[in-house]
Amino acid sequence: MTLEFDAVVVGAGHNGLATAVHLASRGWSVTVVEKASAPGGAVKTAEATLPGFRHDLYAMNLSMFAGSPFFASHRDGLLKHGLELVPSRDGFATAFPDGTWLGVSQDIETTTARIAALSAADARNWRALMDRFGREAPHIFALLGAELPSRAAMGAVWKAWRALGVAGVADIAKLVLSSPRAFLDAHFEHPKVKAMLGAWGLHLDFGPDVAGGALFPYLESCACQSFGMVFGRGGADTIIRAMTGYLRSLGGDIRLDAPVEAIEIEGGRARGVRLASGERLIARRAVVANLHPKGLAKLVAGRAGDRRPSDFAAKTAGFRAGPGTMMIHLALNGPAEWRAGADLGRFPYVHLAPDFGTMGRTYNEAMAGLLPAEPVLVVGQPTAIDPTRAPEGHHILWVQVRVLPADIRGDAAGAIQARTWDEAKEAYADRAIALLETYAPGLSAKILARAVHSPLDLERDNPNLVGGDSLSGSHQLDQNFLFRPAFGWSKHRGPADGLFMVGASTWPGAGTGAGSGFMVGKRLAGEARPAR
């Protein structure tokens, strides 16, 4: 059977859905095809442990989505179809082994007082950094929302130069090139302040001394101070349920359990897709691939007479995955009781990354293929702000273990002998929980059930997460900006006319902001000038 649409979107991650929603809202006929049995990509919520306990399997923080141009453009339609966001004025914190903690809350007086208790100079520097953020953020976000290279990007740089001057633009450039340690050493003196802010680097793949790693901690920390954090009521999949419902209301079509066998190219142009079932879906105007570039290369391989697919495959063959991630989901019969005090239980994110030394060792061990002796943990407490995610009186914890090797060569602690993730994951999860219990005594006695997803499990569930890299490709400087996913392929155009790429492997990278999906949707709808 053959069907025709204006656009066919391959992959129902949130970026692919953003493109589909935008085009459908502009009158295009659109179908989305997805290999998995559920949409969402790395934004999924499921009862992974026990009935009634709703766990975000991967992404949890929806702050980028709430602040995105896509949400601003489609707010009414998404809210009409069930989108529910929950703000939190308490954002993130770091717990320290000495039983103390430090965190950022939306009230700047509260945050500054916490910092001042450690260093009066750092309290002043925090206010100064927030003033800087207020000046720089509009220009940085304008660049992040523009294709690279493009007239819009050049316009963003020009406006920054006009507003900030040469020195101000140079400050932003220095920030982009700096490591977390270099940037934070230049602005703060107390190691706990530096650790609290620097932990955000490991949410990507930036150890403390990796160049280019300062930008994300700067943006996340300052944005949290300015706007708080945002999560989804009932789970992060509220954005997926709203997007799919809205898309269908606009006449769009979503096909699940529908793996694509090939993207069909004729005369150098993408003409549609062929499903594994044999069904053909003709794309009159565009095919949009929400895929890892290596996955896309396989679907366009062997197209005789056109060198672009082979050039694309060659250029993206070296696209490097970031470190792996383990997810541990816990169903609890009560809240975590932090040794640092009950106030820590209000924060949806608690980092267990006490200093640059620990972060650096963990990162270096993982990059050497070793299971880190002391993992860095991001502990999510969603029921602290959204009690609907668990039965009354119960709680869940979302524990992200960063960073880990995709392939295990050894154990830095010398205790785990297994060399495959299927054999090692439970033992390594035990190590992570044991570390967590040193900060939250008695936690193990409250665990009713747990689900452990290793880096290998992440890739099995979603082929875009190569090696368990939850960010779909390293964000280090050689794979970011004009080099994402490869030089010459940064403008979301795929290896054929009428073929476009979206997703975390493309600019502006990972996160829930739907940036690439919305950019491509606007371009196809004729609302943005094409990149030059």
Nearest Cα to Cα of residue 435 among 516, 354, 517, 530: 354
If you average pLDDT over residues 291-300, what whole number do you get? 96
Q: What pLDDT is recorded for position 530?
A: 44
Q: What pLDDT is recorded for position 528?
A: 72
pLDDT digits (tens, 9 = 90+) for 203-219: 999 999 999 999 999 99
Of 164-168, 301-305, 380-384, least confident by mean pLDDT is: 301-305
pLDDT digits (tens, 9 = 90+) for 307-353: 788 899 999 999 999 999 999 999 999 999 999 999 999 999 999 99
Q: What pLDDT is recorded for position 451?
A: 98
| Whether pLDDT at 413 is above 90 | yes
The CATH architecture that domain 2-37+256-319+473-524 belongs to is 3-Layer(bba) Sandwich (3.50)
| Whether pLDDT at 419 is above 90 | yes
Query: What are the structural domain ranges in the chain?
Result: 2-37+256-319+473-524, 108-199
pLDDT confidence band for 511 (50 / 70 / 90) = very high
pLDDT digits (tens, 9 = 90+) for 424-446: 999 999 999 999 999 999 999 99
Name residue, tokens 């030059």: 532
Nearest Cα to Cα of residue 49 among 328, 235, 355, 314: 328
Q: What pLDDT is recorded for position 321?
A: 97
Q: pLDDT averaged over the chain?
A: 96
| Whether pLDDT at 364 is above 80 | yes
pLDDT digits (tens, 9 = 90+) for 145-173: 999 999 999 999 999 999 999 999 999 99
Residues of the chain with pLDDT > 70: what percent?
Answer: 98
| Whether pLDDT at 302 is above 80 | no
Judged on CB neighbours under 10 Å (0-12, 13-18, 19+), 435 is middle
| Whether pLDDT at 529 is above 90 | no
If you average pLDDT over residues 12-27, what whole number do you get? 98
pLDDT confidence band for 304 (50 / 70 / 90) = very low
If you average pLDDT over residues 344-365, what whole number do you get? 98
If you average pLDDT over residues 259-288, what whole number do you get? 96
pLDDT digits (tens, 9 = 90+) for 87-139: 999 999 999 999 999 999 999 999 999 999 999 999 999 999 999 999 999 99
pLDDT confidence band for 301 (50 / 70 / 90) = confident
| Whether pLDDT at 141 is above 70 | yes
Nearest Cα to Cα of residue 286 among 484, 491, 30: 30
Cβ 401 vs Cβ 430: under 8 Å:
no
| Whether pLDDT at 303 is above 70 | no
Nearest Cα to Cα of residue 359 among 199, 211, 203: 199
Q: What pLDDT is recorded for position 532?
A: 40
Computed on alpha carbons and rounded to an integer, the radius of gyration of the chain in Å comes to: 23
Q: What pLDDT is recorded for position 455?
A: 98
pLDDT digits (tens, 9 = 90+) for 177-195: 999 999 999 999 999 999 9
Alpha helices in 256-349 (DSSP H): 293-299, 307-316
CA separation for the pair 428, 194 (Å, rounded): 28
pLDDT digits (tens, 9 = 90+) for 234-259: 999 999 999 999 999 999 999 999 99
Q: Which two tokens stand for residue 252?
A: 């769009």
**Rounded alpha-carbon distances, angstroms, from residue 138 to 26, 135, 143, 157, 164:** 28, 7, 9, 11, 11
Q: What pLDDT is recorded for position 43?
A: 98
